[in-house]
Structure 1
Amino acid sequence: MAGRERFEYDLQELQKRLLEIGNFAEEALHKAIEALETQNIELALEIMDDDSKADLLYEEINDMAILLIAKQQPVAIDLRRIIVAIKIATDIERIADFAVNVAKSTIRIGSEPLIKPIEHIKKMHQISTEMLRMSLEAFNDEDITKAKKVADMDDQVDDLYGETIKELLQINLQKPEFLPQITQLSFVCRYLERAADHVTNISEHIFYLVKGRQYDLNN
């Protein structure tokens, strides 16, 4: 295999690993919200046990990227592709960590009946995971239009976060005995809001890949 063909092959393998860790993080978040809604402690524990898989994938992506740089000494956009892959893997690994944090909150709530339906939390999760899927597509296609659309969706998550926190604070005024659960549900909202922020980071990395400069898409 010629040098350029080998490089392209290795780059595709790197992108496959990114898709793999992205799918893992998405599934972990899905399980975490399911565990919270059904108060399934066993599922929450399973999510915590599986977190090492995300760590291993993250390390593998970093090792592959470092080897590519060392062996191929890429320049310009090829080097940016590898750097961006490392940055995206870092953001996705953090998203997987947030799934673990949601699972921990589920365990802390335990079997105590939920004080309210978690529809807003489920909507935040739905938007965040849709953003993640779209951002990985945008990376593979080097599509900054889609990347910008993903970043714009973050506002929806922020709005839901604000609304839900207000609702929880109002419940706390009426039922202060539920403060521990209210605290944990507030944490869950924060984890999902931060997950969406990390996906926005991915969109910014895609802009850097295509344009060669940094863009702030949070404003």
Structure 2
Amino acid sequence: MYEMTNFSRELKNIEADLVKMGEAVAGQLEQVKDILLEEHTGPDVQRLLEKDNDIDAFDRHIHTSILHLISLQPPLPEELQALTTMMRMAREFERIGDQVVNIAELKTETGVEALKHHVSATFADGYMRMQQVSMDMLARTLEGMQSQTYSADERVEQMDENVDELFSDLQQQVIRDMKANPQQLEKVAPLFLAIRYVERIADHVVNINRRLDGYDELDRS
């Protein structure tokens, strides 16, 4: 049964759940970063897919907690803004989880054990850099949430520009790889989707980071 204490304490509990959700998403990203290029067994991929259920559960729990809190005690305008922001951030985390699932499903759909044997080293290196930058963006955003400074990190925006540049470069590199090895066309073509999913992950992180601006003005003491 939901036990109501005071608004500020309940708000902190929701904040803590949101951070836990972000940390779970970061764990997903760590596990999916090389899943296309390196050899992974079916159970490895399946476990990654199943972890998305945990992310979805976090999303439902946070939304339910917020709605329940609002129904029990009408929030002040700044409190309502904070709660709305947290709901949106949870949804952005959930969408990152969806993109991780998309990447993992590509592994299953291609039926290739390790794509690094079918693409150039240039693509493989660029793809891993793209993944790492996205992970670093999320890490910086989570640091702000964990320290409760709740302010946007301008470096996240700059890093997203790096991801966009890598995305554009890798699109062209996939085309070059396909031209160089047309017999590998069916195996390499899904990488267009893979880099798009990573680019979208970075976009969702940017959205979370931006929502932190102004949120630190709320008095949660």
Asked if TM exceeds 0.5, the reply is yes
Q: How many equivalent pairs are there?
A: 207
* Equivalent residues in 2 for 1:60-79, closer than 5 Å: 60-79=61-80
* Equivalent residues in 2 for 1:145-160, closer than 5 Å: 146=153, 148-160=154-166
**Which residue in the other structure is 2:27 paired with?**
27
| Structure 1: 5+ residue stretches without partners | 213-219
Task: Indicate which of 96, 116, 119 corresponds to 2:120.
Answer: 116
**Which residue in the other structure is 1:216 paired with?**
none
Any idea what the Cα deviations from partners look like across 1:158-209, whole Å, max 9, x if unmatched?
A: 0111111111111112222212222222211111100000111112222353
- Farther off after superposition, 48-57 or 5-14: 5-14
Any idea what the Cα deviations from partners look like across 1:48-83, whole Å, max 9, x if unmatched?
A: 122111111110010011112222211222111111
- Superposition RMSD in Å: 2.1
Matched-pair identity in %:
23
Contact 2:120 2:177 in 1 (8 A): no
**Which residue in the other structure is 2:102 paired with?**
101
**Per chain length, whose mean CA-contact separation is higher, i.e. which structure has more relative contact order (CA < 8 Å, sep 6+)?**
2
Contact 1:168 1:186 in 2 (8 A): yes
Any idea what the Cα deviations from partners look like across 1:87-141, whole Å, max 9, x if unmatched?
A: 0000010101111111111122322633234221111111111111222333431
- Farther off after superposition, 186-195 or 114-123: 114-123
**Which residue in the other structure is 1:192 paired with?**
198
- Farther off after superposition, 168-177 or 186-195: 168-177
CA distance in 2, matches of 1:23, 1:141: 17
CA distance in 2, matches of 1:27, 1:157: 20
Contact 2:130 2:163 in 1 (8 A): yes
| Structure 2: 5+ residue stretches without partners | none
* CA shift in 2, pair 1:153/1:36, >3 Å: same
1:85 pairs with 2:89: no
- Farther off after superposition, 105-114 or 162-171: 105-114
CA distance in 1, matches of 2:160, 2:173: 20
Calculate the TM-score normalised by the size of structure 2.
0.86
Structure (1/2) with the larger helix percentage: 1
Calculate the TM-score normalised by the size of structure 1.
0.86
